[in-house]
Structures are given as C-alpha cells and as structure tokens.
Amino acid sequence: MGRKFKVSYEDKIKACEDYLSGTASAREIAERLNLRPTSEREVQRWAVRYREYGPESLLPKLKNSSYTREFKINAVLHAR
C-alpha cells in the first residue's frame, strides 16, 4: 500500500510561488488547500525548501530512508 499525500506536488509548487511572490499569505494558502489552520508553518517550510533547493525538493518521498548498520552504530557513538 502506497503513501497518500494530502497536497499534490503541483499544488505545493503553486503555493510556494504564491507565497514567495506575496500573492497570498501562508494562512490563505493553507485555507485554500483545506489544511488545518496550524499548517501555515508547513507552507512556509515548503517555500524555504523551494527557494533554496528548487521545485524538486517538494517531490514526495515514496519510501522511507534506509541506513547501513555501520552508519547507525556511528551515529549512536558520536551522539554523546
């Protein structure tokens, strides 16, 4: 069973462009996309990623990341 995304890639792109151009506020965009009122921060995070890394940064992840055993051990040892 695949992941279900609340907001499509195209809608995220449009939201970022509207937010960054000043056409709409993050709250207005969240309301337009039928997101909960606290989602305006999520819209702002999308815009930051869009501006810094381009539209590809908004593509949905289709699966969880996987890490090697060595990477996990290294992360635990250096977390202290």
| Domain ranges within the chain, ordered by starting residue | 1-62
- The tens digit of pLDDT for each residue in 6-22 reads 899 999 999 999 999 99
The Cα–Cα gap between 61 and 21 comes to 26
pLDDT range class, residue 3, cuts 50, 70, 90: low
Which has the higher per-residue pLDDT, 60 or 30?
Answer: 30
- The tens digit of pLDDT for each residue in 39-60 reads 999 999 999 999 999 999 999 8
The Cα–Cα gap between 65 and 34 comes to 29
The model's pTM: 0.74
